[in-house]
């Protein structure tokens, strides 16, 4: 059976915005502004591979970095 999800190719700008480096910069700013630790989570999604949260990872997500 073929893969149900078609291959998605990100534009260079989208790839930059969705990069780990961009998420890390956001996490550092949020940590400085709020005083709370920020989690950088690997979502496993193609369009949004990383996200920043003040909560630990949920099901199906992996902790990549903790910014404290």
The answer to whether residue 4 is domain-embedded is no
- Neighbour-count burial for 12-39, b at 16+ CB within 10 Å, e otherwise: eeeeeebeeeebbebbeebbeeeeeebb
The answer to whether residue 11 is domain-embedded is no
Query: What pLDDT, on a 0 to 100 scale, did the predictor assign at position 6?
Result: 57
pTM: 0.80
Query: What pLDDT, on a 0 to 100 scale, did the predictor assign at position 32?
Result: 98
Query: What pLDDT, on a 0 to 100 scale, did the predictor assign at position 35?
Result: 97
Q: How many CA atoms lie within 13 A of 13 on its CB side?
A: 0
Query: What pLDDT, on a 0 to 100 scale, did the predictor assign at position 59?
Result: 87
Q: Which residues span the domain enclosing 21?
A: 17-67
The answer to whether residue 46 is domain-embedded is yes
Query: What pLDDT, on a 0 to 100 scale, did the predictor assign at position 5?
Result: 54
Query: What pLDDT, on a 0 to 100 scale, did the predictor assign at position 31?
Result: 98
Q: How far apart are CA 17 and CA 41, in angstroms?
A: 15
Counting as low any pLDDT under 70, the low residues of the chain are 1-7
Count up the domains in the chain and report the number. 1
């Amino acid at each position: 059976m073929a893969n149900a999800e078609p291959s998605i190719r990100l534009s260079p700008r989208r790839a930059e915005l969705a990069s780990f480096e961009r998420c890390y910069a956001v996490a550092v700013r949020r940590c400085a502004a709020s005083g709370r630790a920020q989690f950088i989570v690997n979502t496993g999604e193609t369009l949004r591979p990383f996200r920043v949260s003040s909560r630990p990872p949920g099901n199906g997500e992996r902790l990549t970095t903790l910014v404290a």
